[in-house]
Amino acid sequence: MMFDRVHARLAALGARARSVLAFVAGALSVLALPPVHALPVLPAAMMALLWLLDGALARARPRSNAFVLGWCFGFDHFVAGLYWIANALLVDAERFGWLAPIAVAGLSAYFALFPAAALWAASFARPGLPRIAALAAAWTLGEMARGVALTGFPWNPMGSALAVHPALIQGAAWGGVYALSFAVVLMAALPATLAGANASGQPVRARIVPSLAAALLFAGLFAGGAARLAGARDATPADAPGLRIVQGAIPQQVKWQPDLVRQHFGLYLRLSRGEPGAATPAAVIWPETAVPAVFDGAPEFARAIAQAAPEGGVLITGVVRRESSRTPGRPAASWNSIVAVDASGRVLGVYDKHHLVPFGEYVPFARFNPLPKLTEGRVDFSAGPGPRTLALPGLPALSPLVCYEAIFPGEVAARSGPRPGLLLNLTNDAWFGRATGPYQHLVAARLRAVEEGLPLVRAANTGISAVIDGWGRVRRSLPLGMRGDIDAQLPPAPAQPTVFARFGSLPVAAFCILILLAALARRRDQSTTGNKI
């Protein structure tokens, strides 16, 4: 059988060749993620990884071999998925360009520890379905851990691969993106039973059954999602609030140049007027730090930006907010904030970002850390108190999110108080150029909309700005790099909160722990069976 021959060659490789192929498989696996969504690549990558594991476990120090193999796979998986981080450092290449390869490699080396731990854990399970189930569970738990460890960075979970079609991500309404990740890794790894230790000496027909089960699971995800979409509320009510989202498309290299501040501000004012004859919206929405100036509470600033507020409505914009310290000798505190003002310049609401980007918005352990802050200004941002709900006239209660706060499952809305009717994400993806990062960021926002069962409105400086309904479908959008505005009515939300909105990721975490324990409990004692892997 062809698969047996391929497996035999992979299992016979030495440590160096095994590591090289793991690097290659890890890099190729990213093609299944946004924006490419080449899903068939992932089973090939996972099959290669598990067949390489067979060879690694047949050598001395098998568990160490498994950990190293998983790390090699994970390292290139993250390098290929996060290469766009280098673009942020190349905005000011003269000062920070040298850090670009170090940052990408360093972050990838750290994030690779989670796939390494997953493969290490799976190596203890019996070959076949127990090992594959253990890998899927351990990988999912690793993604959850990556989302919280060292402030967390749950970017590109495996479940995001399913965003190729809205029907495939509807399962996030029940279990969140991590439930989708478990399904994706399981489906991708099941074809490994076609050969090697995971085939367990089964005849060819029996080996094919798990692959057929993977295909049926994929079809079931699609069918279940399609059924949920069939009951979606597609029609927008006539009295739904009108929104105008402005995308200035100002390159980051010139965004904060002092001699261009008035020009940039004038651009946003012009775009906020909309097309001739357009209806007056309830809200005009600008992206993160749309105004390249500091808001210190002065009424002149509020009156200036209020020129863009529609009559009877609000302007919502990202700003750098600063308050002078009341303690002599202490610097003023600054926040990356969202403010809402009406046409008279009255400030109606303020939200301060609470989940800050290390080195982008503050320097961790600044007293001992020689690395600089990589964005404008030498003063670190302060963290806001946490998720909150804003009540603004003409709009449903909304949960504001700044930049990558939208990537954290279960953390995009306050869990106490009234449930919001809208997620509002203001971001400045200009840092990442025209690479894959902005597309991946958009997919994260779509998944949050499905998880919470709430529409999500996204205003991005250079794109991709979008109006997303509560089923994760993009209703309106502006492409990456395009300057303009979107006029749209707020889409409806599902009538009831989703299961995920009620319980979060805890049920999935408990399920994965039980699967992992069950798989490990059935491991085979090789010393008594005499069976070599």
13 CB contacts (<8 Å, ≥6 apart)? 21, 52, 55
Neighbouring C-beta atoms of residue 485, cutoff 10 Å: 24
- With beta carbons less than 8 A apart as the criterion, state whether 248 and 481 touch: no
Q: What is the DSSP letter of 523?
A: -
Taking the C-alpha atoms of residue 136 and residue 81, their distance in angstroms, rounded to an integer, is: 20
Report, in this order, helix, strand and coil percent for the chain, each rounded to 5.
Answer: 50, 15, 35
Q: How far apart are CA 355 and CA 18, in angstroms?
A: 39
Which residues, 6+ apart, have CB-to-CB distance to 248 below 8 Å? 264, 267, 268, 271, 286, 287, 290, 461, 462, 483
CA distance 253 to 271: 21
**Catalytic site residue 452?**
no
Distance CA 86, CA 92 (A): 11
Report the candidate in 139, 157, 169, 33 with the shortest Cα–Cα distance to residue 452.
169
Q: Is 255 a catalytic residue?
A: no
* Rounded Cα gap, residues 143 and 407, in angstroms: 13
Task: Locate all alpha helices (DSSP H) within 58-128, ordered by sequence.
Answer: 62-82, 85-90, 93-96, 100-111, 113-122
Total Cβ atoms within 10 A of residue 344? 9
Task: Please pick, among 72, 143, 353, 411, the residue that the annotation labels catalytic.
Answer: 353
CA distance 333 to 356: 14
User: Which three-class secondary structure state does DSSP give residue 303?
Assistant: helix
- Rounded CA gap, 352 and 367, in Å? 24
C-alpha span between 171 and 375 (Å, rounded): 38
Dig out the tokens for 396 from the structure: 């449903």
Rounded CA separation 269/309 (Å): 9
Gap between the Cα atoms of 257 and 239, Å rounded: 42
Q: Of 143, 288, 361, 411, which residue is the catalytic one?
A: 288
CA–CA separation, 430 and 464 (whole Å): 10
Which of 72, 361, 403, 512 is the catalytic position?
403
288 classed as catalytic: yes
Residue 216, token pair as written in the block: 């049926």
The residue among 51, 45, 47, 52 whose CA lies nearest residue 19 is 52
Q: Which residues are catalytic?
A: 288, 353, 403
